Amino acid sequence: MSFPLQGVRILELGQIIAGTYGSQVLSDLGAEVIKIEAPEGDLGRIPSVAPYRGVSTLFLTFNRNKKSVVINLKTDAGRALFHDLVKVSDVVLDNFRAGVLERLKIDYPTLSAINPRIIQCSVTGFGADGAYKDYPALDIIIQAISGYLAITGEPGRPPARVGITLADLCGGIFSCKGILAALFERSRTGSGCRIEISMFDGMLNLLSYMGTHYLNTGELPTPQGSAHEFTVPWQAFQAKDGYVVIATRQENFWRKLCAVLGEPGLADDPRFATNPVRLENRAALIPIIENIVRTRTVAEWLEKLRAAGVPAAPVNNLDGAFAEPPVAEREMIVEYDHPDAGRVRLPGNPIKMSGISGTPSKPAPRLGEHTDAVLSEVLELSADEIASLRRQGAIG
C-alpha cells in the first residue's frame, strides 16, 4: 500500500512530546522516521511516567513506527555520521533549547550547506531569540503563561490546566503543518528551509476567537466550567447517573429543548425567549433546567434529546469515549506487539484519505534498536566501519 509521504525520510532529534508528536503523525502518513537518540535515550523513556509493564506509555505512544539510532553528537565522529545521514534525508526535527543546535554544529546554515534540500524544524518554548528564549518550556509553564490556566476550570476555583498536555501537543501539531508546507514548497523550488515553532505562539493561536475578542474589546474571559460565555444553555447538567451536555446554539434548538424538558412555556418566557436575554437571566434559568435533568438517566435524556435533534452528549471518561461507535467505525484504535510491553493499543490516525486503508503501527523502538540496520542500509557502511564507530563512542 502506498502512503502519501512514502519516500520522505525524517531525522528526529526530539524528546518527550513536543519534539516527537509531529513526526509520529507524519509516520502515520508513510514517512520514514529515524529517531536519533543520545546514548542515554529520549527522556520520554523514563518508565515511571505513565508506566505500563515497565515501559512508559508516553514513549509507546509518540514513537510508534520509528527507528531508534544512537549517535553521540558530542563526538566528532558522531557528528560526521549525522551529517552523512542529513545528506540522504528530507527533514531534521528537534526540540532543543536555544543555542544547542549551534553548539552541536547541526544548525540550519551548517545542514543546508551539506544538503540544500534539507528542511530543519525546531520546536521551542518561546522562540530561538528574544527575552524568553532560555526559559524552561514545560507544558504547564506554557499553559500558564499563555492564559489557559486562567480560563479553565470552575468559576471561583483555583487555576486548572487543560487535562492533556496541550502545549506540548501544540508543538507537534504546528511542526507537522510546517513540515508538510515546506515539503510542498520544496517540490516547487528545489530548496529546503528553516522552520521555527514556538509553543507559546501556537497556544496563542489556539486561543482563536477568545484572543480576538480580548484584543478588540479588552474584556478578559473568566473560567466557565462547562458553560459558555456567550450561549445559554450550553453546559453539562447532572442527570440521575452522570452528566449530559446540552448545547443550544440556535433558537430552534432552544425551543426543541423546552419541548423535550416538558416545559414548552419556557421558550416564550420573556426572560428566556432569546439568547441575549437568557444570558442576562442565566442565574434564573439554569436551576430550572438542572432540576428537570436530575429526574432521568443520561441514557434516557440522550434518547429524547437526539430524537428531537437537540445537540447533546454524555460526559464520558475514557472508557465511554473509546466505546463510542465512531471509534470502531473509523479505526481509531491501533495495536502493535512490543518486545517488552507485549500487546499495546493506542489511539489511531485521525487523518483519513481516499485510497488508503489502515494506519501503519509498528512498535516504539528499544534504545538503539536500529542503529546497525540504518547505518548499513541507508549509509551502506560495512560491519567493520560500524564496529569502528562504536569503538570511537560515536554510536551506541
How many whole angstroms separate alpha carbon 12 and alpha carbon 34?
Answer: 6
* Averaged confidence pLDDT in the chain: 96
Mean pLDDT, rounded, for 271-289: 97
Q: Specify which residues 67 forms β-bridges with.
A: 34
pLDDT in tens, 220-266: 999 999 999 999 999 999 999 999 999 998 999 999 999 999 999 99
**Amino acid at the residue 57:** T
pLDDT in tens, 282-341: 999 999 999 999 999 999 999 999 999 999 999 999 999 999 999 999 999 999 999 999
Confidence of residue 358 (pLDDT cuts 50, 70, 90): confident
pLDDT in tens, 122-154: 999 999 999 999 999 999 999 999 999 999 999
Instruction: Please state, for a pLDDT cut of 70, what percent of the chain lies above it.
Output: 100
All three cell numbers of 155: 468559576
**For residue 376, how far is the Cα from the chain centroid?**
33
370 is catalytic: no
CB 134 within 8 A of CB 107: no
Q: What is the model's pLDDT at position 189?
A: 97
Is the pLDDT confidence value at 38 over 80?
yes
Q: What is the model's pLDDT at position 356?
A: 84
Burial class from Cβ neighbours inside 10 Å (0-12, 13-18, 19+) for residue 57 reads middle
Q: Is the pTM for the entire model greater than 0.85? A: yes
Instruction: Please state, for a pLDDT cut of 90, what percent of the chain lies above it.
Output: 97
Confidence of residue 215 (pLDDT cuts 50, 70, 90): very high
Burial class from Cβ neighbours inside 10 Å (0-12, 13-18, 19+) for residue 311 reads middle
Three-state SS string across the chain, please? Answer: CCCCCCCCEEEEECCCCCCCHHHHHHHHCCCEEEEEECCCCCHHHCCCCCEECCEEHHHHHHCCCCEEEEECCCCHHHHHHHHHHHHCCCEEEECCCCCHHHHHCCCHHHHHHHCCCCEEEEEECCCCCCCCCCCCCCHHHHHHHCCHHHHCCCCCCCCCCCCCCHHHHHHHHHHHHHHHHHHHHHHHHCCCCEEEEEHHHHHHHHCHHHHHHHHHHCCCCCCCCCCCCCCCCEEEEECCCCEEEEECCCHHHHHHHHHHCCCHHHHHCCCCCCHHHHHHCHHHHHHHHHHHHCCCCHHHHHHHHHHHCCCEEECCCHHHHCCCHHHHHCCCEEEEEECCCEEEEEECCCCCCCCCCCCCCCCCCCCCCCHHHHHHHCCCCCHHHHHHHHHCCCEC
Is the pLDDT confidence value at 348 over 80?
yes
Task: Spot the catalytic one: 83, 213, 228, 370.
Answer: 228
Confidence of residue 1 (pLDDT cuts 50, 70, 90): low
CB 130 within 8 A of CB 156: no
Q: What is the model's pLDDT at position 279?
A: 96
Domains, the chain, in order of start with CATH, read 9-207+333-391 (3.40.50.10540), 234-314 (3.30.1540.10)
Confidence of residue 2 (pLDDT cuts 50, 70, 90): confident
pLDDT in tens, 363-395: 999 999 999 999 999 999 999 999 999 999 999
Confidence of residue 175 (pLDDT cuts 50, 70, 90): very high
How many whole angstroms separate alpha carbon 145 and alpha carbon 207?
Answer: 13
